[in-house]
Amino acid sequence: MKKKICVYAISKNEIKFVERFYNSVKEADYVCVLDTGSTDGTYERFKELGVIIEQKKYDFFRFDVARNDSMALIPKDAEICVCVDIDEYFNPGWTKILRQNWSEGVGRARYRYTWNFYPDGSEGVVFMADKIHKNGAYKWVYPVHEVLAPTTNENLKFIDLPAMQLNHKADETKSRKSYLPLLELSVSENPNDDRNVHYLGREYMFDKQYDKAIETLTRHLKMPTSRWDIERCASLRYIAECYKQKGEKQKQENSIMRAILECNYVREPYFELGVFYYENGQFLNSAFAFNEMLKVQDRYLNYMSSPLCWNSLPYDYLSLAYYEIGEYKKAISTIETAIKLNPTDPRLKQNLQIFKNKLNEK
């Protein structure tokens, strides 16, 4: 018997995304939306499209409560539940992939998620998201950056579906001002949750509260449950960024070095070290750092993976560092690689000619 799939979502003033969202999820057997107070026609348009929809307004909004309330709309005969935001959309054929791979004992599924796109249409941050779950076996927890937590003692397993693609193209005009107080609430409710402390420190950095960010991220690193080396590396990288904004270069460099020691198999800290040295005129050190970065060949799909480490930019920086130390042949071969990755950038082609002219002068 065909496994029934239900997409569920929360919405508020998302009219510009309704059609795109609906056209991508209507492959599912059910689509459920909990509207939290739209005034732009979102609620009415979803009703016209025939989705299962209710409206509920909150005196104090938190994502876990709203998502759990939206789960109450899911029909009982839906076996697989897929949580999607209205500004997201699937590539066609996703339900076939999901049904073919879902079997007895599966509780969760991970799928490929592109969080943002560049103006030229190329992908930005890409990672494996995991908001697909068995009906009745999970609930949402945490006021923001909410996650699924099991509600049963079943020994359910994850499956990975890299062929299943979800895309995110957000409304950049929407404010994230609610995130910081919700994260502060989340940490006050769960002070020993290292994940939330990490997120709170990062949010302080986004909010330019650099001292609070350093204090909070340092706390994250000291927590006994803080064991994921990639996340610990990210905390140190964010600390380095805070020191950069405070003008404390030595502490910035030390934090990046510590990030490399914490996790030497990802590109991000090497990239940031290369940029640090380049911006501070230490071109030999910059070339060394970028060469070390390029030795890392495996890209780990997580939300902390920076696309900048995998496009033309590292080769661009490295070519400039080579030029500054007089390694013109290496500068030429490196900028040629950058051009292959970014053939429409006229500056790269201009630099190539400058490098060739300099080599001919020797």
CB 142, CB 93: distance < 8 Å:
no
Mean pLDDT of 298-322: 94
Mean pLDDT of 290-315: 94
pLDDT over 90 at 174, yes or no: no
pLDDT the model gives residue 301: 86
Band (pLDDT 50/70/90 cuts) for residue 171 is confident
pLDDT the model gives residue 282: 98
Q: Name the segment(s) of the chain with CATH classification 1.25.40.10.
A: 179-310
| Other CB atoms within 10 A of residue 160 CB | 13
CB 139, CB 145: distance < 8 Å:
no
pLDDT the model gives residue 31: 98
pLDDT over 90 at 121, yes or no: no
What torsion, rounded to 10 degrees, do the Cα atoms 340, 346, 347, 350 define? 90
Band (pLDDT 50/70/90 cuts) for residue 119 is confident
Q: Which residue has the tokens 């348009």?
A: 45
Q: How many residues does the chain have?
A: 362
Band (pLDDT 50/70/90 cuts) for residue 118 is confident
pLDDT over 90 at 102, yes or no: yes
Mean pLDDT of 342-353: 96
Band (pLDDT 50/70/90 cuts) for residue 65 is very high
Instruction: Give percent above pLDDT 70 in the chain.
Output: 99
Q: Name the segment(s) of the chain with CATH classification 3.90.550.10.
A: 5-168
pLDDT over 90 at 99, yes or no: yes
Give the CATH number of domain 5-168; options: 3.40.50.880, 1.20.1280.290, 3.90.550.10, 3.40.50.10420: 3.90.550.10
pTM of the model: 0.91
Chain mean position to CA 193:
20
* DSSP letters for 110-179: EEEEE--B-TTS-B-SEEEEEEEEETTSEEEESSSS-EEEE-S----EEEEEEEEEEEE---TTS--TTH
Mean pLDDT of 47-58: 97
pLDDT the model gives residue 178: 85
Band (pLDDT 50/70/90 cuts) for residue 77 is very high
Helices (H), 50-123: 63-71, 94-101
Buried b (16+ CB within 10 A) or exposed e, 200-212: bbbbbbeeebbeb
Mean pLDDT of 340-348: 95
pLDDT, greater one: 300 or 92? 92
Domain 179-310 has CATH 3.20.20.300: no
pLDDT the model gives residue 110: 97
pLDDT over 70 at 362, yes or no: no
Instruction: Give percent above pLDDT 90 in the chain.
Output: 92
pLDDT over 80 at 170, yes or no: no
Nearest to 273 by CA among 300, 254, 299: 254
- Write the secondary structure of 306-361 as one string of H (helix), E (strand) and C (coil): CHHHHCCHHHHHHHHHHHHCCCHHHHHHHHHHHHHHCCCCHHHHHHHHHHHHHHHH
Mean pLDDT of 10-32: 97
Query: What average pLDDT does the structure give for the chain?
Result: 96
Q: 104 is written with which tokens? A: 């007895």
Rounded to whole angstroms, the Cα distance separating 180 from 206 reads 9
pLDDT over 90 at 329, yes or no: yes
Mean pLDDT of 112-125: 91
pLDDT over 90 at 317, yes or no: yes
pLDDT the model gives residue 2: 83
pLDDT the model gives residue 52: 98
